[in-house]
Amino acid sequence: MQVYEAPLRDMKFVLNELHTDDGFGNLEALEEFTPDLVDAILEEAGKVAQEVLLPLNRSGDIEGCTLENGVVRTPKGFKEAYDLFREGGWCALASDPEWGGQGLPEQVNKMTEEMICSANVSFSLYPGLTHGATTAIEGYASDELKQFYLPKMVSGQWSGTMCLTEPHCGTDLGLLRTKAVPQEDGSYKISGAKIFISAGEQDLTENIVHLVLARMPDAPEGVKGISLFLVPKYLPKQDGTPGPANGVSVAAIEHKMGIKASATCQLNFDESTGWLVGTAHKGMEAMFTMMNTERVSVGVQGLGLGEAAYQSAVWYAKERLQGRSLSGVKNPDGPADPIIVHPDVRRMLMTMRANNEGCRAICAWVSRALDAEKHSTDPEVKQRASDFIALMTPVVKALFTDLGYESANLAVQCYGGHGYIAESGVEQYVRDARIAMIYEGTNGIQALDLVGRKLPAHMGRYLRAFFHPVSEFIEAHKEDATLGKMIEGLEKAFGALQLSTATIAQKGMADPEEAGAAATDYLRLTGLVAMGYCFAKAALIAQGKLAGGTEEAAFYKAKLTTARFYFDRILPQATAAFLAIKSGKASMMEMDAEAF
């Protein structure tokens, strides 16, 4: 059964206790968002997730989206839920007040996103993509376009999409063919076919604003000749209401493995009117603003689904009676003990729990950097925050979605055969989680981004924003008996990461295939160290609270136990990743393609 209760206590822990000493400082601009106000917002968000979105998750999966006579319909209840969501101001949470947004800290916004994704990840894509599109428009569009489009998009009255993919062009955007022909009035006529466009058409909003990558007639070949255009579904009239149709039609919607309530569309642009966003031929730069926002949000999809899968598995593990505990009967009045008594079931539940708490802790850390990058008045802090975000964006995207999928799979395993049956609700989590490892750049591409772009950037400067706090923490707590084995484990994994970084820098310079062969293991190793650092800090806080006496002993005890499990059972994977990196590309690349 799909059960979900927003993990508010852990969210408050990562927001208010875990990262207060992270060097990003207290931001004056966000002072009005007091812990009490933030708590109230998170509680409300939890209610929306649990009461409005969760009830539509399974029905949305069963019904899916439909296309009839060019009109896409979202499943029953989605329109009403979207209206409620929009009227409640949830679409505008993170946007700039200049455009009608609420200017909420990213730290709060990301926790809210997590809850929405746990409850209904298909639904999350509709407001999520709109928010991403507004970031690109805000950063690169002309003032006129901003004034006209942003208020309607921020309020959720109009939605946004990102149109990159074409049938022959996915990862390699340099191959894209959609054309943009300049017109005398400064606009462009956009023609071409796009596929896999999330929320490309739907019945939730009165207009849709497509951000389309296309090529002008004089454009250089490859990615250096791509420009970004804003193309509305309906050309707005001067009074801002939707006017005539703009030549954008839906050829089909995809029938897919999961996120069935999210409409994934094939769109045709037939001489549609569009306006340039940013500089000609520099569309990738503008699109990357949206893609980076989306990459962190896709990571949060993995976390949200991991949490939902965990809670559903815990519920079942307490209900399902099978076998007897190896340490003696625990349920003498029943025919068997609940399966939560079995070590192997515990292994699965603890792995899911550690995955979720670790990812949530990293998420809060990255969100603090996002806030500091935007609001800090100290240029040094701003730069460091921006370096940290650049480094961690591919890690958040790939690590969280890999682990979210792992957790969803483990939930099915906890349910046994019943998990494989649709009625249980947990197989949906596996299907829904799978796409997050693919879209917004596959996880393999995230790993290449990390080793190929982020590591060498500015002579390794990005890495310093991550390495410094970790090494300072290890140095400060080396002799700390209370952390004991944890700090030892963290130091070992961090050492492996430093060595791997040097190996990749050295070998990769001479042979880029060496860096490519190491990339996925390196990203995982980075993620494991980041989680280890967060868990060690969390353990320190928990131990302090328990030693000082606290009314919340159960919470801190559980935190400490989860941290111990992480160091005992998950962090050792760092050694395997290190050895894989060290082995180099030889056994991976040796075989001729014909031999496969």
Interface ranges with ligand FAD (CB under 6 A) = 162-165, 170-171, 196-198, 256, 264, 435, 438-439, 441-442, 444-445, 448
Rounded Cα gap, residues 237 and 553, in angstroms:
60
Nearest position to ligand FAD, beta carbon = 170
Q: How far is the CB of 368 from ligand FAD (least distance, A)?
A: 28
Quickly count: other Cβ atoms within 10 Å of residue 438's Cβ. 15
80 phi and psi angles, rounded to 5 deg:
-65, -40
Contacts of 108 (CB under 8 A, 6+ apart): 15, 33, 38, 41, 42, 93
CB neighbour burial string for 560-582, b if at least 16 within 10 angstroms, e if fewer: bebbbbbbeebbeebeebbebbe
Rounded Cα gap, residues 305 and 309, in angstroms:
6
Whichever of 171 and 241 has its CB closer to ligand FAD, that residue is: 171
Q: How far is the CB of 175 from ligand FAD (least distance, A)?
A: 10
Scan for tokens 């180099």, then name that residue.
584
Whichever of 444 and 456 has its CB closer to ligand FAD, that residue is: 444
Whichever of 256 and 418 has its CB closer to ligand FAD, that residue is: 256
Rounded Cα gap, residues 4 and 581, in angstroms:
38
Q: Which residue in 440, 472, 488, 594 is the catalytic one?
A: 440
Whichever of 452 and 495 has its CB closer to ligand FAD, that residue is: 452
Paired sense of beta strands 158-163 and 207-214, if any:
parallel
Q: How far is the CB of 122 from ligand FAD (least distance, A)?
A: 10
Distances (CA, A) of 318 to 123, 282, 459, 496: 30, 55, 52, 39
Q: Apex CA 182: angle with CA 179 and CA 187, to 5°?
A: 105
Q: How far is the CB of 262 from ligand FAD (least distance, A)?
A: 7
Whichever of 104 and 164 has its CB closer to ligand FAD, that residue is: 164
Contacts of 571 (CB under 8 A, 6+ apart): 489, 490, 493, 528, 531, 532
Clarify whether 440 is annotated catalytic.
yes
Q: How far is the CB of 176 from ligand FAD (least distance, A)?
A: 10
Neighbouring C-alpha atoms within 13 Å toward the C-beta of 536: 32
Q: How far is the CB of 435 from ligand FAD (least distance, A)?
A: 5
Q: How far is the CB of 202 from ligand FAD (least distance, A)?
A: 12
Burial (0-12, 13-18, 19+ Cβ within 10 Å), 139: middle
* 335-340 own/partner pairs: CB under 8 Å, 24+ apart: 339/414, 340/314
Whichever of 158 and 196 has its CB closer to ligand FAD, that residue is: 196
Secondary structure tally for the chain: helices H, strands E: 18, 11
Whichever of 439 and 567 has its CB closer to ligand FAD, that residue is: 439
Residues belonging to the active site: 440
